[in-house]
Copies of this chain bind each other. A is one copy, B any other.
């Protein structure tokens, strides 16, 4: 069974690096080396013939409209492969940041200032194990900013949110869904427009063609499977999904694609649990530093044993 995201090419570089994703022991596609001008890089042979038609729809591509007065910026951390999301209501200038990274607070601060936004909340989808959150540092830069996380994360924050809550910024809001399994406190945030979801931020619960690993913190494969199917993949097919990480250079996916092509979550629950059990991933490289720091909102001075 091949549960490797099919276009992954960075597995060697990622070995031991990424606690969120599970890749290392998976079967690999045939690889051929490319000529000297791009040595050290691989190009996988893929038969063109496998054009998938099993989804029963004529075209997998569709698009939804986000509100015209919503500012949305996707930001990336090359070290931890983390996506940070800036959302703002253009009318009121109120903004939120989802999953900021400590070392990139400076970049994010400049962007927020350049756009003349008021940062209201710095929100984490969960207590991360692969990077230190920027929420504590952002609160120093933007004194009116409050940090937010799930109470179930066990981490410190100004505001605790749970299933059914709303993260309000200006005239916009995110609906909070509880999607545990990678950790107990994992949340998914959904923005609605014209009565339907148009943006969903899935954290580590659902990644592009993959999912967060379930072998540390409070990881539970059965719980993750239920979360993804009952909370995320039940949304309309063209709902865009924005994960907390990607390791293949992709920025976005959709419910339709993950229901058709997610290598793990298209399986039965029992098969999924088996896949996750057999991953035998290396110990996450940054967890011993990241987790204690994230329990205190990324404020390193507040660490008990700094």
Contacts and interface: CB of A to CB of B under 8 A. Distances in A.
Interface of A: 6-7, 9-10, 34-38, 41-46, 48, 50-53, 58-79, 84, 88, 90, 93, 95, 102-111, 113-117, 132, 137, 141-142, 248-252, 257, 260-261, 289-290, 292-293, 300, 303, 306
A109 B74 contact: no
B114 A60 contact: yes
A70 B63 contact: yes
Contacts of A35: 300, 306
A269 to B, nearest CB: 24
Given A52-B114, A68-B65, A102 B43 contact: yes
B289 A110 contact: no
Nearest to A10: B78
A249 B75 contact: yes
A66 B292 CA distance: 43
B106 A43 contact: yes
Given A109-B46, A114-B257, A250-B75, A69 B60 contact: no
A72 B65 CA distance: 12
A60 to B, nearest CB: 4
Given A34-B300, A63-B66, A114-B260, 7 more contacts: A6-B110, A46-B109, A60-B115, A61-B88, A75-B251, A76-B76, A78-B78
Given A44-B106, A107-B249, A62 B52 contact: no
Contacts of A64: 68
A48 B141 contact: yes
Contact of A41 (B34, B51, B68, B79): B79
